[in-house]
């Protein structure tokens, strides 16, 4: 899958996302294609055939709803581990942080949804949104559960499931 290295490679996943965003805004399918990995290009071809759509339509949003805004969205929490990377990008449509996968390919960082789909991409670690959500759940472990009060006349001799009942005198 190797091709010739790029002349002006994206040196970080953040830079790669900015290039992808600019390519989507320009509507240039070739620039969008240059910003995605080879496996993501394969995914685009498969989707175009399956959906009977022109390839340009598949590439039109750069595989992410985060590009559906006039201005570059906020980008945070770049993580890199080996040749795998990710950044969190604010998804204005869904009002949440989206973790965007990248892979280092042919000397440049590329969008890696095709690599994710083929189980090649491995997370460089959880993003800040996932860590914050986990911390919120740890701090409020039963926040989604209703507290119930047992009736006062419940027999104290009730046995938990699986324990033998005590014989009454």
Whole-structure pTM over 0.75, yes or no? yes
The per-residue pLDDT for 165 is 57
- Once rounded to an integer, what is the mean pLDDT over residues 98-122? 97
Nearest to 17 by CA among 78, 82, 83: 78
Q: What percent of the chain has pLDDT over 70?
A: 78
SS3 113: helix
The tens digit of pLDDT for each residue in 124-152 reads 999 999 999 888 876 666 655 555 565 66
The per-residue pLDDT for 136 is 82
The CATH architecture assigned to 13-128 reads Roll (3.10)
161, pLDDT greater than 80: no
The tens digit of pLDDT for each residue in 63-100 reads 999 999 999 999 999 999 999 999 999 999 899 999 99
Q: Residue written as tokens 């071809």?
A: 45
> Could you tell me if 103 and 32 are in contact, meaning their C-beta atoms sit under 8 angstroms apart?
no
Q: Pairing between strand 84-91 and 75-81?
A: antiparallel
Q: Which of 113-146 are b and which e, b meaning 16 or more Cβ less than 10 Å from the residue's Cβ?
A: bbbbbeeebeebeebebeeeeeeeeeeeeeeeee
Q: Band the pLDDT of 7: cuts 50, 70, 90.
A: confident
Count CB neighbours of 60 within 10 A: 15
- Once rounded to an integer, what is the mean pLDDT over residues 34-61? 96
């Amino acid at each position: 899958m190797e091709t010739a290295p790029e002349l002006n490679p994206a040196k970080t996943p953040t830079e790669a996302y900015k290039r992808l965003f600019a390519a989507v805004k320009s509507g240039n399918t070739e620039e969008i294609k240059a910003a995605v990995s080879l496996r993501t290009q394969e995914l685009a071809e498969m989707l175009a055939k399956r959906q009977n759509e022109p390839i340009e339509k598949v590439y039109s949003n750069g595989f992410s709803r985060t590009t559906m805004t006039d201005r570059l969205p906020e980008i945070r929490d770049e993580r890199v581990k080996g040749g795998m990377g990710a950044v969190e990008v604010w998804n204005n449509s869904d009002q949440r942080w989206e973790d965007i996968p990248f892979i280092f390919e042919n000397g440049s960082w590329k969008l890696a949804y095709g690599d994710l789909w083929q189980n090649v991409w491995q997370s460089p670690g959880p993003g800040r949104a996932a860590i914050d959500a986990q911390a919120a759940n740890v701090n409020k472990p039963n926040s989604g559960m209703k507290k119930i009060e047992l009736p006062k006349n419940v027999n104290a001799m009730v046995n938990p499931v699986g324990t033998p009942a005590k014989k009454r005198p």
